[in-house]
Every structure is written in C-alpha cells, then in structure tokens.
Amino acid sequence: MTLNVGDAIEYTWDALGIVWLIGLAFTKRTVRAEPDSTRLFQMAVLLLGFGLLGSNWFRQGWLAIRFVPANDAVGLAGMVLTMAGCLFAIWARLALGGNWSGRATVKEGHTLIVKGPYAIARHPIYTGLLLASIGTALAIGEWRCILGLFVIGMMFLVKMSQEERLMMETFPAAYPEYRQRVKALIPGVF
C-alpha cells in the first residue's frame, strides 16, 4: 500500500487539528480578550483562507489554473514543507501550554514563553502554519492556494499586532527585550 502526497498532507493537517482540539482542555482561564465580534470576523476570514487553500469548493475558473507544473518532485517538496510546518506549529502549541488561545488573550497566571520554538520566532505557531500552507499550496499548485495564502497571511499579521499589543501591556519590562532579540515570524529576517 502506498501513501500518496495528497493523503499525507491531509493526514498531517488532521493531526494538527487533533492536537489543537485536545489542547483546548488544558488552557488557562482567560482574563482579557479581544471582543467576540473581532474573533468571529477573524475566524471567518481564516476559514475562507484555509478553504481556498485546501477545499475543492473554489476549484473553478482561474482559481483552478495551476501556477506550478504537476510532478512528483513538486508534490514531495510540498508534502515535506507541510509536514515540517505542522510539526513546528505543534511544537509551539505544546510549548505554549495553558497560555494558548485561538484569539489574542491574556490568561490567568500568564507567563511569557521565550524557550523552544519561541526562541526562534515570537509567533512560531503562525510561522509553522504559514510554512505548512506554503507546502500545501505548492503541492496543489493552483492559484486558489496563492489567494488563500494571501488571506491567511494578512489575517495572521492582524492577529500578531493584537497579540503584540497585549504582550507589551502584560509584560512591559520583558517583552520589549524579547522583541529586540527574536524576530516575529522568520528568524533573522522578519
């Protein structure tokens, strides 16, 4: 029995989802959070982005045109990037522990995590999810995936700015030094 690239990518995203669902049971109580309306808007936009990336709903017209030729090497490269990105996001999610939330929040007893993947990037979950999304887009190779990547990336930038503001308010002494030392998404670059 051979596993094809598409199945491997799907199982990788499924594994990430399972880790996220299990992790929900271990989060701390929220003390401060963005408004529910903001969260709903962000979720809707991210759902659109990930829908463009991985759903066949948008496989029509110019969105279904390939931007990269379909071949085994491109598919394999996409699969490896997807797996690496999901593993990095899972590592970051586990390192964050009870401080994690799907929206910009401050948790009860919130601690500033600066080790593990957080020593590499301030927002390593987004780094991992973007890398995995790039891999999936490469493997699928259709323009809808590029549009999905753009939507996901823009929403992550919005969420990052909200999280940065909360962390600056919550850790006024430690967070500026951490920001100086560790880039937001791409080590040494951005």
Question: 22-40: per-residue pLDDT in tens?
Answer: 999 999 999 999 888 899 9
- What percent of the chain is modeled with pLDDT above 90? 92
Say how far apart CA 63 and CA 85 lie, in whole Å: 24
pLDDT recorded at residue 34: 86
Q: Is the pLDDT of residue 181 over 90?
A: yes
Arithmetic mean of pLDDT, 146-168: 97
Residue 187 lies in a domain: no
Residue 87 lies in a domain: yes
Q: Is the pLDDT of residue 2 over 70?
A: no
Residue 7 lies in a domain: no
Angle of helix 72-96 relative to helix 5-24, nearest 10 degrees, comes to 10
Counting the structural domains of the chain, the total is 1
For the chain, the maximum distance between any two Cα atoms, rounded to a whole number of angstroms, is 56
Q: How confident is the model at residue 10 (pLDDT cuts 50, 70, 90)?
A: very high
What are residue 30's phi and psi, to 5 degrees? -80, 135
Residue 22 lies in a domain: no
Q: Is the pLDDT of residue 69 over 90?
A: no
pLDDT recorded at residue 1: 46
Whether 139 contacts 75, CB under 8 Å: yes
What's the chain's length in residues? 190
pLDDT digit string, tens, across residues 96-135: 999 999 889 999 999 999 999 999 999 999 999 999 999 9
pLDDT recorded at residue 58: 92
Residue 103 lies in a domain: yes
Structural domain of 139: 34-181
Q: Is the pLDDT of residue 88 over 60?
A: yes
Residue 142 bridge partners (DSSP): 66
Mean pLDDT estimate for the chain: 95
Residue 21 lies in a domain: no
Residue 26 lies in a domain: no
DSSP classification of residue 26: T
Residue 16 lies in a domain: no
CATH number at residue 171: 1.20.120.1630
Q: Look up residue 109 and give its two tokens.
A: 């007893």
